[in-house]
């Protein structure tokens, strides 16, 4: 659906992984060659499948596929499942958008809170188009991107779009242990999502209220509050034993 909406707004080039890439984060391929091939998945478009990660796809799109063309917008997704709160750290969908922002390209990562393979994206179609049109018209601050999460609701129950911040929420992880037929132990990562943020101005709160959450984000991970904290500043005067 994201490709169909983009086609309504301009010329589209698709570069996407050739296999699922959930949880890849900002991984890049260094020790094996990358391969990229034309695909007929979108018969009327210039479209490629890539053997690498989502970030690899953006790098190849920028430096190989469209190297002589100006790119006005990069969109990634629509991801199956939430990328709100801490999930942005693990998400290949959002890392692709972040890589584009590093290249100075306005970018958006879209996610729908529905993990089903046959998830229905049509309910959010109009909102997704509005967000894309807004970024094309107004742009984004250099180095920034939008993390957009969409509640799993019928179209008439989506209340609108809410600009918000990333919630202070995390995964409380456990590992399910089992034994394979050869008697060797193996583990599956599992756990539960814990929201430690009671405030109403977060992406998690917006989604729970039936809104599409839009969080402006960027690659600068500096903790500016800690940077000014006195105890850390004293490191600059710390004496090192000779």
DSSP 103-140: TT--EEEEEES---TT---GGGHHHHHHHHHHHHHH--
What stretch of H or E contains 88?
helix 87-90
Count CB atoms within 10 A of the CB of residue 57.
Answer: 27
Mean pLDDT of the chain: 92
Residue 242's pLDDT band, with cuts at 50, 70 and 90, is low
Buried b (16+ CB within 10 A) or exposed e, 134-146: ebeeeebeeebbb
Q: For 40-90, how does the pLDDT look when each residue is reduced to its tens digit (9 = 90+)?
A: 888 889 999 999 999 999 999 999 999 999 999 999 999 999 999 999 999
Is 38's pLDDT higher than 90? yes
Give 84's contacts (C-beta < 8 A, 6+ positions apart). Answer: 111, 147, 149, 166, 167, 169, 203, 204, 207, 213, 215
Q: How many domains does the chain have?
A: 1
Residue 216: the pLDDT is 97
Residue 230: the pLDDT is 66
Is residue 22 situated within a structural domain?
A: yes
Structure tokens at 161: 């779009």
Is residue 43 situated within a structural domain?
A: yes
- Global pTM reads 0.91
Residue 118: the pLDDT is 85
Is residue 101 situated within a structural domain?
A: yes
Is residue 208 situated within a structural domain?
A: yes
CATH of the domain at 86: 3.40.1210.10
Residue 102 lies in domain: 2-167+198-220
Is residue 87 situated within a structural domain?
A: yes
Residue 123's pLDDT band, with cuts at 50, 70 and 90, is very high
């Amino acid at each position: 659906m994201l490709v169909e909406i983009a086609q309504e707004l301009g010329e589209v080039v698709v570069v996407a992984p050739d296999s699922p890439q959930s949880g890849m984060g900002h991984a890049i391929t260094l020790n094996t060659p990358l391969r990229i091939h034309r695909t007929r998945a979108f018969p009327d478009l210039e479209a490629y499948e890539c053997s690498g990660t989502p970030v690899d796809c953006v790098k190849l799109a920028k430096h190989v596929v469209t190297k002589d063309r100006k790119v006005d917008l990069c969109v990634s997704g629509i991801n199956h499942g939430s990328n709100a709160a801490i999930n942005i750290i693990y998400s290949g969908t959002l890392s692709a958008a972040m890589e584009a922002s590093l290249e100075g390209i306005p970018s958006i990562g879209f996610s729908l809170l529905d993990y089903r393979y046959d998830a229905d994206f049509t309910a959010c179609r109009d909102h997704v188009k509005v967000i894309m049109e807004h970024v094309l018209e107004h742009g984004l601050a250099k180095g920034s991107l939008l993390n957009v999460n969409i509640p799993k609701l019928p179209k008439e129950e989506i209340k609108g779009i809410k600009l918000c911040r990333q919630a202070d929420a995390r995964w409380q992880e456990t590992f399910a242990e089992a034994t394979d037929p050869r008697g060797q132990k193996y583990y599956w990562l599992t756990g539960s999502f814990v929201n430690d943020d009671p405030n109403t101005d977060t992406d998690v709160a917006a989604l729970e209220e039936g809104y599409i959450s839009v969080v402006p984000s960027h690659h600068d991970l500096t903790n500016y509050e800690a940077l000014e904290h006195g105890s850390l500043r004293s490191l600059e005067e710390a004496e090192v034993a000779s």
